[in-house]
Amino acid sequence: MSSEIDARTLYIDYSKCIGCETCEAVCKFLYSQPRIVLVRTVAGEMTPLYCRHCVSPSCARVCKNNALTQDEHGAVLLDSMKCRGCETRNCILGCPYGGMLATHAGIGINKCDLCKGRRKHGDLPACVEMCPCGAIHYIEREKIAALESEASRAAEERVLAHVRQKKM
């Protein structure tokens, strides 16, 4: 998928994120259920968790109903009609980034689709447009490295340590 012309994903520079919850609020406004959520880490930082739209998504591999697929641009999409009724929710466990979200609104799982409807009209994902500190980018995967810094890598490691807590 990464060789596609428009294979883009979200990238959040956690060193710039101020935890203001704007991304979650605009997503909830547009979709009723937010597809990006903020959590408080053990260090007390508010940080967004989101689908990384992996090139080879483990969530899709473990889905027994084939409810998760990739579009022509590499976005991992959820077919909620196929998702209904799954009791295992293996996709939640399969996502290493905490980007698969359980809901209580009739649909078992919710996740970011990179604002599929907005992209169809040439618009950016809403969280990208609304982020007040420019921490969220809609970017080609191979260009992420150019945005990364020592501070952003360290901040992401803190977030991933929270998501992938060690078992005792």
Q: What pTM value is reported for the model?
A: 0.88
The pLDDT value recorded for residue 162 is 87
CB 18 within 8 A of CB 104: no
Domain assignment present for residue 1? The answer is no
CATH number, residue 35:
3.30.70.20
Output the six-digit token pair for 75: 């976005």
The model's pLDDT over 38-65, given as tens digits with 9 standing for 90+, comes to 999 888 889 999 999 999 999 999 999 8
Q: DSSP assignment of 92-134, as one string?
A: HHH-TTS--EE-SSS-SEE---S-HHHHHTTPPPHHHHH-TTS
Domain assignment present for residue 3? The answer is no
The model's pLDDT over 13-44, given as tens digits with 9 standing for 90+, comes to 999 999 999 999 999 999 998 999 999 988 88
The range of the structural domain enclosing residue 99 comes to: 8-163
The total of structural domains in the chain comes to 1
Instruction: For residue 14, give the nearest of 35, 34, 38 by alpha carbon.
Output: 38
The pLDDT value recorded for residue 105 is 64
Domain assignment present for residue 2? The answer is no
Output the six-digit token pair for 58: 């483990």
